[in-house]
């Protein structure tokens, strides 16, 4: 009898937690889909709900349950006003990055529920089989990108390397890590502060995209997101606007 009661109570608690998680996810999806598509608007909506717990849920959605989550948790909630200020700044970053030849720019959500910018290059930062050397096109694109990063050190940078699915998991993990480091080293050589680089990882073929060719999977993705200094400035700016 006591075992039955214990199991009943445990199942009840589990169901309550699942229901709460579902509600939080539903709220997140509604907030994300409302209003304008600019980072400013989305930053305000997400910032109003973001905290350490919800930020982790947002991160899991962005990472599709695997791989690294963009950004480092700041451990404090971010208000709507601060989120809007950061969204506006990221709008500007995205617009500037989009001017770089071959750059593909997307807005994503970091671990704190704030807007971030993902940059890939459609014909650059692609690698030959089992190689991590940057070709001339890649170097030209990264030189332009470095100028953007050196103008403002209030953004942190994550870099992730990918591979095709040929060879062992160990070999692919190594070459994808080498690719991420090649990009970091080149950007650093062009003047980007080492303190801005936070996560430099090779993901091997753990996130191989079946909709792309093997060559298209041999790539590097770069993410820009607000660091603590930008968040502090945005807090002050938002407070001054109230």
The whole-number pLDDT of residue 91 equals 93
Q: DSSP letter string over 111-154?
A: TTS-EEEEEEESSSSB--TT-----HHHHHHHHHHHHHHHT--S
Q: Where are the domains of the chain?
A: 35-241
Is 35-241 in CATH node 2.60.40.10?
A: no
pTM of the predicted protein model:
0.72
For residue 162, pLDDT over 60 is answered with: yes
What distances in angstroms separate CA 229 from CA 12, 236, 241, one per listed residue?
43, 11, 19
Highest mean pLDDT among 44-48, 80-84, 157-161: 157-161
Q: What's the average model confidence in pLDDT over 46-53?
A: 37
pLDDT classification of 4: cutoffs 50, 70, 90 = very low
The whole-number pLDDT of residue 238 equals 84
Mean pLDDT of the chain: 75
More confident: 69 or 184: 184
Is-contact 217 62, C-beta < 8 A?
no
pLDDT classification of 76: cutoffs 50, 70, 90 = low
pLDDT classification of 122: cutoffs 50, 70, 90 = low
The whole-number pLDDT of residue 124 equals 62
């Amino acid at each position: 009898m006591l075992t039955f009661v214990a199991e009943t109570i445990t199942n009840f608690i589990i169901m309550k937690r699942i229901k709460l998680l579902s509600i939080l996810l539903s709220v997140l999806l509604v907030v994300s889909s409302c209003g304008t598509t600019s980072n400013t608007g989305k930053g305000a909506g997400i910032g109003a709900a973001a905290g350490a717990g919800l930020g982790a849920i947002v991160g899991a959605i962005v990472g599709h349950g695997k791989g690294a989550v963009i950004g480092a948790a700041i451990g404090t909630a971010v208000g709507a006003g601060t989120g809007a200020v950061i969204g506006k700044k990221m709008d500007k970053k995205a617009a500037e990055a989009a001017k770089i030849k071959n750059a593909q720019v997307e807005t994503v959500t970091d671990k704190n529920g704030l807007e971030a910018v993902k940059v890939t290059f459609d014909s650059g930062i692609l690698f030959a089989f089992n190689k991590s050397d940057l070709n001339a096109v890649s170097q030209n694109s990264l030189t332009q990108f470095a100028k953007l990063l050196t103008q403002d050190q209030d953004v942190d940078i994550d870099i992730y390397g990918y591979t095709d699915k040929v060879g062992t998991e160990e070999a692919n993990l190594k070459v994808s890590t080498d690719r991420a480091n090649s990009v970091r080293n080149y950007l650093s050589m062009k003047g980007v502060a080492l303190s801005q680089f936070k996560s430099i990882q090779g993901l091997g073929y753990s996130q191989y995209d079946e909709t792309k060719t093997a060559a298209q999977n041999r790539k590097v993705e770069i993410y820009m997101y607000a660091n603590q200094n930008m968040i502090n400035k945005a807090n002050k700016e938002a407070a001054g606007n109230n």
